[in-house]
Chains A and B, each alone.
Chain A
Amino acid sequence: MTWPSAGPALAGGRRGGLTGRLRRGGTVGSPDGPARPDELAPAFPPSLLVGYLCALALSEWLLTVSVPAAAACFGLLASTVCLALPLLPGDRDPDDRGAALPLVLAAVPVVRLITVAAPTADLAPLARLVVLAAFTLVAVCVAARGSPPQWRLLRPGPHGWAAQATLPLVAAPLALLVYPLAPPAAQLRDTAPALVLGVGLALAVVPEELLFRGLLVPAATGVAGPAGVPLAAAAYAATFIGYGSARMVLAALVVGWVLGWYRQRTGSALGVVGARVLLVLLVYLVVPAFWP
């Protein structure tokens, strides 16, 4: 199922693309004519996004070597984003999608640091996920305060409720792909009744989905254009490097890419959040019952 692109709505209406992301002090165009190409400068160069992605992947890989070193790298990455802010344009038009990108880029390493540092050692696996999700939700809510209203985190996009309601159906084929590549974590299986497990898992994935699809996809697309969806999917997949499984990273990349594409096309995160919740429920509770 496809929808017409919600690009103009997400692009902030009147100003999308590179011309909408000028440095403060730059000119959109003089009264004498349009701006020359050398007058245009992206607010957040896409190359910086790629560099950020590499640093995030390195930090995640460090988890397999030394967890404290990885925690330090997550902290360093968040600090670097903060320190880089003076190099970026100042308070811009709230319609500018690139304006919220630093918020999301800072939130990702903070959330990963919380995963390592939050005092969850004594908690049951499911309770640990819910507690981590609560901390993640705080970061997402603060980051969402600085996001343009047309990003529509929990409101239906320009295609209405019908599109959002049918979008979770995409979880069915994704579940058949994810289950063999990234089977359910052994630490969670059979630890709670199915209903409790389902509710806990649903609560655990919502903040993550709001962060990576709800905020990161439109922010990255605002800076990198069509490459924003794969870049956001790569950032999401990088957070699975610590598992030490290439198949899991591949599955995360596919899921991130597909859900990111739908999020961009529908103009709302509501449907992909539903799809992600349904995906987790299918992988944990339904597919194992039928998989040979």
Chain B
Amino acid sequence: MTPSVPPPVLDFLGRGDAQVSKSAGVVVLLLLLAALTGRVLLQSARPFPRRDGLRLLDVVALPLLLVFLAIVLERFRDLA
């Protein structure tokens, strides 16, 4: 299959950064916060944290953290 971004997403991206940040960006932030909170709670679990649970939350949190940082940098660039 040929790689590309679905047309509805392209239309959505074309509406402007503010619109994107207010909708999809909020989902990213909420999911990121939930994953990080879950990870902290899991790390404090006794008698020992589940390694597969920590890995699972890492799969969710790490890419979203990078995307969130990219969104923040993008917003700073727009403000500059």
Q: Are B7 and A71 in contact (CB under 8 A)?
A: no
Chain A contact residues, majority secondary structure: helix
User: Which one, B8, B50, B67, contacts A114 given CB within 8 A?
Assistant: B67
In the complex, A273 has a CB within 8 A of chain B: no
Q: Is A111 an interface residue (CB 8 A)?
A: yes
Interface contact B23-A139, CB-CB below 8 Å: no
- Nearest A residue (CB) for B11: A67
Chain A residue nearest to B42 (CB atoms) is: A85
* A contact residues, total (Cβ < 8 Å): 68
B66 touching A129 by the CB < 8 A rule? no
Q: Which residues of B contact A113 (CB under 8 A)?
A: 24, 27-28, 31, 64
- Cβ-closest chain A residue relative to B17: A121
Secondary structure class of chain B's binding surface, majority of residues: helix
Question: A54 on the interface (CB 8 Å rule)?
Answer: no
Find out whether the CB atom of B60 lies under 8 angstroms from the CB atom of A82. Answer: yes
Count contacts on B: residues with CB < 8 A to the other chain.
45
A75 sits at the interface (CB 8 A): yes
Contact B67 A102 (CB under 8 A): no
A129: chain B residues within 8 A (beta carbon): 3-5
With contacts A75-B31, A102-B56 taken as known, whether A205 is within 8 angstroms of B3 at the C-beta atoms is yes
**Set of chain B residues within 8 Å of A40, measured between Cβ atoms:** none
* B62 adjacent to chain A (CB < 8 Å): yes
> Within 8 Å CB of B53, what residues of A?
85-86
Beta-carbon contact of B16 and A63 below 8 Å = no
B10: chain A residues within 8 A (beta carbon): 187
Contact with A along B35-53 (1 / 0, CB 8 A): 1001000000000001111
**Chain B minimum-CB-distance residue to A118:** B67
Further 11 A-B residue pairs, CB within 8 A, beyond A103-B52, A243-B7:
A71-B28, A75-B27, A82-B38, A106-B56, A119-B20, A139-B63, A178-B2, A185-B2, A185-B4, A204-B3, A240-B1
> Which 7 residue pairs spanning A and B have beta carbons closest together?
A185-B4, A68-B23, A242-B6, A117-B24, A67-B12, A119-B74, A71-B24
